[in-house]
Amino acid sequence: MAINLFGAQAHGGKLIALDDQALVTDLAALAGTGGNTFAAFVLSGRFASAGYAKLRRMIQAVAHAGAVTVTITPWRDGQDTGQTITRTLAIGDNENVTAPLSVTGSDFQLMVTLTAFDAPASLGSGDITVVPRRSQR
């Protein structure tokens, strides 16, 4: 099941359907001219481990009808780690994007950003691997 992406205009009352196939820029004229390209992203809620752990991998399903660039950024303890994994998908590529990660902490979040798309793109189900760290040897 895909999750539709929506955005809100920072100063104004417009909602924008980010996965609309007719829309690849924000604030474009009705003729499709002008506007700015945007980066559609979603930041997950925090998921906590049972103590100190290592976030090892994320697999994210991305349904796409054209080219799209997917960037996965892990967050640790409420802060951006600065690490990014980027995958560029073309038409017909596997929809499951695998990102090997190595982030230690107590709780984690993941930011998934979609850019450079020329057709509808939506996020499906995702899976993560968290490995608990032992506290004693």
pLDDT for position 20: 56
**Domains contained in the chain, CATH given:** 39-132 (2.60.120.260)
Q: Give the list of residues 6+ apart from residue 42 with CB closer than 8 angstroms, or none.
A: 3, 5, 111, 112, 123
* Average predicted confidence (pLDDT) for the chain: 81
Q: Is the pTM of this model over 0.75?
A: no
Give the phi and the psi of residue 27 in degrees, each rounded to 5.
Answer: 60, 30
pLDDT for position 112: 94
Cα(137)–Cα(118) distance, rounded to whole angstroms?
Answer: 52
Longest dimension (CA), the chain: 65
Which residue has better confidence, 74 or 2?
Answer: 74
**Range 48-70 average pLDDT:** 88
Tokens, residue 110: 């993941």
Q: What is the pLDDT of residues 28-56, one digit of tens each?
A: 555 656 666 667 788 888 887 677 889 99
Helix (H, G, I), strand (E, B) or coil at 78: coil
